[in-house]
Amino acid sequence: MHKDSNKATFLFSSGLVVFIAILLSVAAISLAPYQAKNIRTEKMKNILTSISVHAETGEAEQFFNQYITKQIVLNNKGKEVTGKVAAFDIDLKKELDKIKIGKTDEQLYPLFICNKGGKSFYIIPVLGKGLWGPIWGYVSLEGDMNTIYGASFGHKSETPGLGAEIETEKFQQQFIGKKIFDESGNFVSVTVIKGGASPTNLHGVDAISGATITSNGVTEMFKRTFSNYIPYFKNKRS
């Protein structure tokens, strides 16, 4: 076959594409365990950050096992369930999406209980939507299951200097000391307020200037996710 013929060119191109596809497939399969481990490690670090424990990558699992003393799985009624799936492995997005298909009775929610300095803290994952994509985080409550002890937020594609500010310590520290219940024991959550929250407002924090949609997304994220844990907290508090 003449090397400059159309047939030779076609066969060479096809062979090259197949060869590269095989290499990419092998690489993806080989790297999958490492990717899964990195995702798991990052999740541990984010959970720990919500209780102000900052761990390096190599320390994450050690610190996680040291501080997280119990992992609980709750159903949509706030009751503990066992034997279905580990709390750490629950995909919160899939559980929240079950509402759309009428399977709320099958929802499962993870709750992480931490012991730090002899005190108990309750860590809840939160998930919402920003301007350009998903936003998420972990929020820890003090032993009264009402006062926020710490918060850690992340995002996929928010605008730097605007919505991406939810990842900054300055924004996250505003949540410390805020309450999710009012004085009558009603769930009111925490609201990100455009124009700023009053210093005496125990349920509000300042919005990010120029990032109204992302700020509203954080408010919605709190209310939608936290509401699933309220039956459990009210029962435990009483």
Provide the mean pLDDT of the chain.
91
Establish if 210 belongs to a structural domain: yes
pLDDT value, residue 17: 87
Phi, psi of 82 (to 5 degrees): -130, 160
Mean pLDDT confidence for 4-24: 79
Residue in the block written with tokens 């541990």: 44
Domain count, the chain: 1
69 close to 122: Cβ distance less than 8 angstroms: no
Tell me what percent of the residues of the chain surpass a pLDDT of 70.
Answer: 97
| 72-131 pLDDT per residue, tens | 999 989 999 988 789 999 999 999 999 889 898 899 999 999 999 999 999 999 999 999
Domain contains 33: no
Domain with 214, as residue range(s), is 46-237
What secondary structure does DSSP assign to 32-87, as a single string?
Answer: HHHHHHHHHHHHHHHHHHTTT----GGGHHHHHHHHEEEEEEEETTS-EE-SS--G
23 assigned to some structural domain? no
- For residue 1, what pLDDT band results from cuts at 50, 70 and 90? low
User: Would 83 be classed as within a structural domain?
Assistant: yes
CA 193 – CA 207 distance, rounded (Å): 5
Q: What is the pTM of this model?
A: 0.85
**214: exposed, middle or buried (Cβ count in 10 Å: 0-12, 13-18, 19+):** buried
Say if 102 falls within a structural domain. Answer: yes
- Checking if the pLDDT of 151 tops 60, the result is yes
Nearest-10 Cα torsion for 163, 169, 170, 176: 110
Domain assignment present for 143 = yes
| Residue 66, in any domain of the structure | yes
pLDDT at 4: 65
* Residue 206, domain member (yes or no): yes
